[in-house]
Chains A and B, each alone.
Chain A
Amino acid sequence: MSFIRVVYVLWLRQLKRYFRSKPRMIGSLGQPLLFLLALGFGFGPIFQKAGGGDYLQFLTPGIISMGILFTSTFTGIEVIWDKQFGFLKETLVAPVSRFAIMFGRTLGGATIAMAQGGIILLLSMIFGFRPMSILMMLPAILVMGLVAIIFTALGTAMASRMEDMHGFQLIVNFLIMPIFFMSGALFPLEGLPSAVITITKLNPLAYGVDALRFFLIGTSHFGILLDLSVLMILSFVFMALGSYLFSKMEA
């Protein structure tokens, strides 16, 4: 069937581009690891003293989420590159549904981000992270996939409305960074001022971080049912939004 074939080649293209760009691979793994080591060992003693327990245990799900957030948003935004280099035209004049194109791209970006999350998880175990159960790592990987889909689709949606890469820095500073910092990736949500709690409740990544903590270390702030419901609903919503905006794009 041609729909599946189209989705497949777009998925494959994303993977090839990623694995051929060594700097990008190193960067997307190196940055989270740097955060994990610097913060994990730097704040570990204070966290322990304050009664929070092992900070590395707490931090690892947050850093995995961070890696996924960055990689997936960037692969989504990459559509802008395709537009500037002209390749977008090749896909847009083809007699295939815009949804198939967007869907294939998004799955490709999400696959990369998810794999990267898995790799960070394995590497963190070298540095002393201990998941509560090996079996629970499977649903954790699934959660990574959902988070990856949400942010790849969000990246695509934003890129569809951009003319060039000039807005990119703005997006990083005023969207990605706040999403990361206000997700509970670095600190526990318990006992925070209610204004901060409200903001994190509106942050999709907070539910991803929380669900990962549930499956990896057995604690959860929102409750796993709420986490999973929010993540699944948002995957659909952002995919729909991304497809709609992408279909309006002119090469």
Chain B
Amino acid sequence: MGPIIEVKNLQKHFGSIKAVDGISFSVKKGEVFAFLGPNGAGKSTTIKMLTTMLKATAGELRIAGHNPSIDPNGARSNFGIVFQDPSLDDELTAKENLLFHGALYDIKKGLLNERMEKLLKVVELWDRKNDLVKQFSGGMKRRLEIARGLLHHPKILFLDEPTIGLDPQTRHHIWNHILELNKSEGITIFFTTHYMEEAEHVADRVAVIDHGRIITIGTTKELLKRTKKKDLESAFIALTGKGIREEEGSFIQNMRLRRRVMRR
């Protein structure tokens, strides 16, 4: 059987910005694959093209055999995603957000309730299930986003900086649950993160991307050998340089925008 994610010479241009500049890689079924890179490297843009949210400028894509631009719903029925940016309905309760998701993915009622309880307990929101999301803190919202993404069990799970802003205990909990799904159901995991020890700990393979190009790809061991470093963090800095990158706009801007709109 071929790889479950296949990317060949993928490109995305925004005007003169080459956000993704000709990348190729593939991910095997059941693999835990980390996509690492500094802010603005092109990670989210790549995920958006893989998940039918953006049209590629050029290149070839396959998601479980489906081309997202020709057969978007074929691709969509094979993946789940936890977005980097907020995507909950604030005017609904935690539970209602999950039920909505369950309906979109046509999960049977019994199974849906069972999984909802399990996941809300994993992310420690079970006793807040009937509260409106707008009353949640940033971290609670993040946890709910993750729980929602894990509700239907797809073939591929995309996680775009899923654990950002969460405390170590919660991150640990959540990753345990994800890895369990990976083992028991063979769900392929494709994730990005800025926590290098997280990637080192859970990923079977790692790709490092910068300025829209893949710099290197391989197991953590191979990367350490190539860079002659002791841990992934040092290897990462050796590969992408020490320069500080602009804080990525989208998330922060989005939060500001939210606040502005709320105030009206």
Contacts and interface: CB of A to CB of B under 8 A. Distances in A.
B83 A16 contact: no
A165 B79 CA distance: 31
Contacts of A250: 53-55
Nearest to A81: B261
Given A85-B86, A86-B86, A94 B76 contact: yes
Interface residues of A, number: 27
Interface string A80-96: 01001111011111111
Contacts of A251: 53
Interface string A52-93: 000000000000000000000000000001001111011111
A13 interface: yes
B91 A5 contact: no
A9 B100 contact: yes
Interface string A206-229: 000000000000000000000000
Given A2-B106, A94-B104, A16 B86 contact: no
A24 B12 CA distance: 41
A95 B73 contact: yes
B92 interface: yes
A199 to B, nearest CB: 33
B83 A89 contact: yes
A8 interface: yes
Interface in B113-133: 132
A2 B76 CA distance: 15
A86 B101 contact: no
Contacts of A20: 91, 132
Contact of A87 (B87, B105, B257): B87
A165 B257 CA distance: 11
A6 interface: yes
B99 A87 contact: no
A49 interface: no
Given A13-B89, A13-B92, A89-B87, A94 B254 contact: no
Contacts of A91: 104
A93 B51 CA distance: 7
Contact of B88 (A16, A21, A87): A87
A9 B83 contact: no
B69 to A, nearest CB: 12
Given A85-B90, A250-B54, A9 B99 contact: yes
Contacts, number: 75
Contact of B103 (A9, A84, A87, A93): A9
Contacts of A93: 51-53, 76, 79, 81
Given A20-B91, A86-B85, A87-B89, A96 B104 contact: yes
A22 interface: no
A97 to B, nearest CB: 7
Nearest to A251: B53
Interface string B38-74: 0000000000000111110000000000000000010
Nearest to A4: B103
Contact of A90 (B52, B96, B101): B101
B26 interface: no
A17 B91 contact: yes
14 contacts: A6-B104, A20-B91, A84-B257, A86-B83, A86-B86, A86-B254, A87-B88, A89-B83, A89-B85, A90-B148, A91-B104, A92-B53, A93-B52, A96-B104
Given A9-B100, A13-B89, A90-B89, 10 more contacts: A20-B91, A20-B132, A84-B258, A87-B87, A87-B89, A89-B83, A94-B104, A97-B73, A250-B54, A250-B55
Q: Can you list the 10 inter-chain pairs with the closest CB atoms, starting with the nearest? A: A95-B77, A95-B76, A94-B104, A9-B103, A86-B87, A2-B106, A86-B86, A89-B87, A90-B87, A17-B91
